[in-house]
Amino acid sequence: MSGDVSVIALSGADFLREHLRARLTLVMLVAIPALFVVVSSSVLGEFAAALGGSVGGNSASALGAGWAAAFLAGALGFFQVSSSRDADRRLALAGMGAGRVVIARISASIVLGLLIAVVGFLTLWLSAGIAHPAHAFAAILIFALIYIGIGTLVGSFISGALEGSLTVAFIFLIDAFSGPGMSGSGGVAQLMPTRKAADVLIAAGAGQGSPSVDWIAVGLTTAGALALAASAFWLAARPRSR
Amino acid sequence: MIGRTLTATRMGFREQARRPLLLILLLALPFLFISWSFAITEPTPRLITLPGGEQLLTTMKDLHGAIMVPITVGFLAGLIGLFVIQSALESDRRLVLAGYSPGEAILPRLVVLVCATLIVLAASLAVTAIDFIPASWVPFVAGNLLAGLIYGAIGALAGAMVGRLGGAYLMFFLPMMDIGVAQNPMFFDGAPERWASVLPGYGPTRVLIDGAFSQSFDATGPLVVALLWLAVLSVAVIVLLRRALGARR
């Protein structure tokens, strides 16, 4: 058991190092969410009003931080899987096993997602001020985790970098624009993956807490997205019999 | 020489044609993004300033539909530029080793990139025409084409300079922040702020906004700026790719 943990931890650290080897990638992981939060905070309220929504002020800025975390994390999850498909199969064949490869890869993505969420949250806190910081940070992190799941899921089925990136972007745009405070309030909009996380984030931006039922829904969505992604990734990474 | 370039160009198209999902996405995404933008936006009144300085009262719905075209074209062309050039670098190095000149290897990739941009542009314009007819088609099309070519070139540069993942992060956000926010007349006072004029999306967006809402053409300055951006970026792409291919001979 402790051997399993150390193998996963070692591989996860290696996957993390592999991802951050290019310094520019790290710079972008830090700079992009910060820039997006600053640039979008002044316009998201107007944008929501144009779509018939009502989100504004700090809630709109908070939503921008969640979106930035989600979009980057989606790309991150996708490339973690798609760019290492063959290497992961070899690792699994060489004795590590598909399950441990999957846990190590997704753990590395979660650590990077945490970095993205911290940057987005700090930028939000410094630029707009947040009355409910703990809830806001948790919600931004949840945006990132849900999209790590979505990116990983897409990467498990689509190998082409361009096709996969476009698919992640497509899911993100539908999800974001039909979210609470934007155009959607009922029907299909209720089924969008970050629906409840956006409710929590908007409430935190407005200085309000969220009911426990919202947190339960957010927790279940996050766990479901990561579990679904892990299962799909395991199917993609497992050695095939010849 | 022409025969070899034509062969490489044909192979480049064949490579893309083997990816049916890509073609589906390139046609479906403009349809979904643009038609959905029209569908979800309220027709609330909005005062904007055209490039000639004239003020015009339009609606958020029309503005959102019009501005989604360059966002979509720039975003898709940027990602195409990024991944087409990035994935081609390795095989093109082999072509150069096999006797192609760097120029003969680069030209087919650029032809594929321009053609993919034209496909995305045609799909985007066709969808837009269902809900919105610009006041003057020529500048509207020209502005959107320039947006696509400029972002295609930026994507190609990103692919060659910062790699696949860093390039993807960049191209996911840059067109959104530039065309989608900084140049977007839905925000600020109906015209981009002064600082936005240094961004690559400034020229194309002003040209197409002029075409969308004015029958006279008053965006000569932004058009020149856009053409300069395109010329500088094209030269940068060619120099960088020649160096990337030639350096390993």
pLDDT in tens, B176-221: 999 999 999 999 888 899 999 999 999 999 999 999 999 999 999 9
Q: Which residue of chain B is at minimal alpha-carbon distance from A26? A: B166
| Structure-token pair, residue B9 | 């160009």
CB-CB neighbours of A220 under 10 Å:
11
Residue B127, pLDDT score: 94
More confident residue, B183 or A96: B183
Q: Which residues contact B122 (CB under 8 A, 6 or more apart)?
A: none
Neighboring chain A residues of B79 at a CB cutoff of 8 Å: 162, 165-166
Percentage of chain A beyond pLDDT 70 is 95
pLDDT digits (tens, 9 = 90+) for A6-30: 878 888 788 888 877 878 888 888 9
What pLDDT score was predicted for residue B249? 47
Residue A58 to residue B63: CA distance in whole angstroms: 25
Tell me, yes or no, if A54 comes closer than 8 A to chain B by beta carbon. Answer: no
Q: In this model, does residue A184 exceed pLDDT 80?
A: no
CB B121 within 8 A of CB B76: no
CB pairs under 8 A between A and B: 113
Give me the phi and psi of B229, to 5 degrees please. -55, -45
Q: Does A79 touch chain B (CB under 8 A)?
A: yes
Q: How confident is the model at residue A118 (pLDDT cuts 50, 70, 90)?
A: very high
d(C-alpha A33, C-alpha B204), whole Å = 26
Q: Which two tokens stand for residue B233?
A: 């970026």
Report the C-alpha dihedral over residues A176, A182, A184, A185, rounded to 10 degrees.
120
Cβ-based contacts of A166 with chain B (< 8 Å):
22, 25-26, 29, 76, 79
Query: So what's the ipTM on this one?
Result: 0.84
Cβ B81 vs Cβ B233: under 8 Å: no
Residues sharing a CB contact under 8 Å with residue A31, sequence separation 6 or more, in sequence order = none
Of A24, A25, A50, the CB nearest to B60: A50
Q: Which of A112-116, A169-173, A178-182 has the lowest mean pLDDT?
A: A178-182
A83/B117 Cα distance (integer angstroms): 25
Q: Poorest-confidence range of A4-13, B90-99, B170-179?
A: A4-13
Where is pLDDT greater, at B213 or B2?
B213
Residue A202: which of A113, A129, A143, A139 has the closest Cα? Answer: A139
Which residues of chain B have a Cβ shorter than 8 Å from any chain A Cβ? Answer: 19, 21-22, 25-26, 29, 32-33, 36, 40-42, 44, 60, 64, 75-76, 79-80, 83-84, 86-87, 162-166, 168-170, 172-173, 177, 181-182, 184, 186-188
- Residue A1 pLDDT > 70, yes or no? no
| High-pLDDT (> 90) share of chain A, % | 41
Question: Please, are residues A157 and A226 in contact by the beta-carbon 8 Å criterion?
Answer: no
- The pLDDT assigned to A183 comes to 65
pLDDT exceeds 90 at position B147: yes
Report how far residue B114's alpha carbon sits from residue B103's, in angstroms, rounded to the nearest whole number: 16
Query: Which runs of consecutive H residues, i.e. helices, occur in B18-101?
Result: 20-40, 60-97
Q: B11-20, B111-120, B205-214 — which is least confidently predicted?
A: B11-20
Number of H helices, E strands in chain A: 10, 0
Q: Output DSSP code: residue A187.
A: G
B154-170 average pLDDT score: 88
* Among the partner residues B21, B33, B42, nearest to A163 by beta-carbon distance: B21
pLDDT tier, A185 (very low <50, low <70, confident <90, very high otherwise): low
Q: Tell whether the model's pLDDT for residue B31 goes beyond 80.
A: yes
Which residues is B9 bridged to in the sheet? none
| Chain B hits for A24, Cβ within 8 Å | 162-163, 166
pLDDT at B148 over 50: yes
Task: Flag if B172 and A169 touch (Cβ within 8 Å).
Answer: yes
Going from N- to C-terminal start, the domains of chain B cover: 2-246
Give mean pLDDT, residues A117-141: 92
The proportion of chain B whose per-residue pLDDT surpasses 90, expressed as a percent, equals 62
φ, ψ for residue A211, nearest 5 deg: -65, 155
Rounded to the nearest angstrom, the minimum Cα separation between B9 and chain A is 20
- Rounded Cα distance between A189 and A232, Å, is 25
Measured CA angle at A232 (ends A231, A237), to 5 deg: 95
What pLDDT is attached to residue B247? 54
Residue A210 and residue A203 in contact, taking contact as beta carbons nearer than 8 Å = yes
Q: At B57, give phi and psi (nearest 5°).
A: -95, 120
User: pTM (2 decimals)?
Assistant: 0.89
* B149 vs A183, higher pLDDT: B149
Interface test with B, best of A166, A173, A177, A188 (most B CBs within 10 A): A166
Q: With an 8 Å Cβ cutoff, are B33 and A173 in contact?
A: yes
* pLDDT greater than 90 at residue A95: no
